[in-house]
A = this chain, B = another copy of it.
Amino acid sequence: MSPKITTELLKQLRQVMKSPKYVQEPVQAYIVPSGDAHQSEYIAPCDCRRAFISGFDGSAGTAIVTEQHAAMWTDGRYFLQAAHQMDNNWTLMKMGLKDTPTQEDWLVSVLPEGSKVGVDPFIIPADQWKRMSKALRSAGHDLVPVKENLIDTIWTDCPQRPCKPLITLDLSYTGVSWRDKIVALRSKMAERKVLWFVVTALDEVAWLFNLRGSDVEYNPVFFAYAVIGMNTIRLFIDGDRMMDPAVREHLQLDSTLEPEFKIQVMPYGSILSELQAVGASLSPKEKVWLSDKASYALTEAIPKAYRYLTPYTPICIAKAVKNASETEGMRRAHIKDAVALCELFNWLEKEVPKGTVTEIIAADKAEEFRSQQKDFVELSFATISSTGPNGAIIHYKPVPETNRTLSVNEIYLLDSGAQYKDGTTDVTRTMHFGTPSAYEKECFTYVLKGHIAVSAAIFPNGTKGHLLDSFARSALWDCGLDYLHGTGHGVGSFLNVHEGPCGISYKTFADEPLEAGMIVSDEPGYYEDGSFGIRIENVVLVIPAETKYNFKNRGSLTFEPLTLVPIQTKMIDVNLLTQKECNWVNDYHQKCREVIGAELERQGRHDA
């Protein structure tokens, strides 16, 4: 992987930063955040502005370019990747390390007095704007919105915004109709005394209307906004997608409907002016509900006194608690996914010793097996297929320059998943096709102990996921090992593979309490730079637990693994497991055999 040469691009950007054609006054710094106008984690090619200007294409990172400097903030998952992808024009700012300055502190340290710092107001979330603007102002600088995105002005071959056809999901998949979701949303709005709710996150729009798209790779979403009033529904979406008869039927666009369920379809680009009109029409005490992560541009459209901002929207919270249809769909999807992986492992066992299987071939083969399963749509993220030292690059994606051949001498880590029409999967298995070293087995077993500690944990209703994070680390900590990422994230139901508002991380303190029906990943790991990576990941469902004393009727919760893919026993040092942990592994494998074995039989895939 050779770094992108950015000297010329940075020169051009620094020119437009001073050009009266684009900025009212010259800006001395320009911020290029990761996201799109919906604060998506995965973004369309046309929104990959930070990758375009810097070369670094990991999923998280913020670039800031000043007249003299160019700096990139990213987290522990991407330190190695960013260092490889960026040229010498860039300084890597390793977030989470003690001596790394925040973006604000760094700006204050490098900017000349009274500087202007520009940013696209559609890309920066309102909460970030507020924090940064305050910090800059207190140091005598100004954060200013630059209407035209300055990267777009120099990005001559920028791809078009995608506008792909939609998929409608019927009740058998979603469990609840979009009308009932609107009714539930309006009741939450009434509870909080707000008149309008603005849906800005793409997965929230998709979930609300029981529609899916493919505008963004891996995430079955489509570019749209929605504004829900107590008697109106406005959907902002482009293209001829609303001409599709299936979509018209699904949304009842041509039916005679009660007016409060009549959907007004409007152009995607008109959201700002429409929202400004809403803002201007409000009477005192009338409120508009937005996520505090909505863009600064949309947030500013509503006068401050009328805004009701929350970190998590009612849709985000409702979406996280899966209903019976969604849970059953997720179960089906995970069974199909396990069948595909069992086939893959069987194939790898046979092929790896021949020395012909590369990381890319293995990833492609995994996709091939998955794509044979019913209702397969696409992958849920770029497959992490990594062997040996590549395994230590936590969010590694094999490319021809780095592509290693799997061998009987190295650990192989596969973190992969798919979108099926009935559910989203995400599973990591770490394996060895020869004989693992004692040290590799030791580390693997600590990771497994952590995985089990979370998966088998029992905790009272109302517990937040971050309180479980240390369980995953305890066995590693005892020996002086740790990993620099969280332990789990929420998983969507045929939606984004990463979703809020719950998770299991030492970093997430704003997570909502875990509830029965929520689905998260459990994925501790251990990484030895330059040598190997280990991660064991299941997707698990929060379920009620039975305990002796039941928390004085407060109730208790635990997890049920939805992922049913065997864990390679060759990697386990059984002496390090307690009896309870041994039982967990045995019970898990028995369930895998029963459920996946039966499905393999049913599909006639006897070989695996």
Q: Which residues of A contact B (CB under 8 A)?
A: 98, 138, 305, 457-460, 462, 467-471, 473-474, 477-482, 506, 509, 547-551, 554, 556, 578
- A548 to B480, Cβ gap below 8 A? yes
Bound complex: CA A305 to CA B550 (Å):
53
Bound complex: CA A503 to CA B513 (Å):
22
Give chain B residues whose Cβ lies under 8 Å from the Cβ of A474: 457, 471
* 12 contacting pairs across A/B (C-beta < 8 A): A138-B305, A457-B477, A459-B477, A460-B480, A467-B506, A470-B470, A478-B547, A479-B548, A480-B547, A480-B551, A481-B549, A482-B551
Least Cβ distance of A504 to chain B in Å?
A: 11
Least Cβ distance of A486 to chain B in Å?
A: 12
Contact of A460 among B471, B477, B509 (CB under 8 A): B477
Bound complex: CA A402 to CA B556 (Å):
34
Closest to A528 in B: B552
Bound complex: CA A481 to CA B545 (Å):
13
Give chain B residues whose Cβ lies under 8 Å from the Cβ of A468: 470
Give chain B residues whose Cβ lies under 8 Å from the Cβ of A554: 482
Give chain B residues whose Cβ lies under 8 Å from the Cβ of A462: 98
Give chain B residues whose Cβ lies under 8 Å from the Cβ of A470: 459, 467-468, 470-471
Give chain B residues whose Cβ lies under 8 Å from the Cβ of A506: 467
Closest to A578 in B: B578
Least Cβ distance of A65 to chain B in Å?
A: 26
- B460 to A482, Cβ gap below 8 A? yes
- A549 to B479, Cβ gap below 8 A? yes
Closest to A460 in B: B482
9 nearest CB pairs, A to B: A480-B547, A480-B549, A480-B550, A479-B548, A509-B509, A467-B470, A480-B551, A459-B477, A458-B478
Bound complex: CA A481 to CA B506 (Å):
24
Bound complex: CA A479 to CA B551 (Å):
8
Closest to A471 in B: B470
Give chain B residues whose Cβ lies under 8 Å from the Cβ of A547: 477-480
**Residue among A305, A469, A471, A481 with the most chain B CB within 10 A?**
A481
Q: Quick one: given A468-B470, A474-B471, are A551 and B481 in contact (CB under 8 Å)?
A: yes
Q: Quick one: given A460-B482, A462-B98, are A556 and B467 in contact (CB under 8 Å)?
A: no
Contact of A477 among B458, B473, B478, B578 (CB under 8 A): B458
Bound complex: CA A478 to CA B473 (Å):
18
Give chain B residues whose Cβ lies under 8 Å from the Cβ of A551: 480-482
Bound complex: CA A107 to CA B68 (Å):
52
New contact pairs (9) apart from A479-B547, A482-B554, A509-B509, CB-CB < 8 Å: A458-B477, A459-B470, A460-B477, A460-B480, A470-B471, A479-B549, A480-B550, A480-B551, A481-B549
- B458 to A556, Cβ gap below 8 A? no
Bound complex: CA A584 to CA B188 (Å):
52
Closest to A506 in B: B467
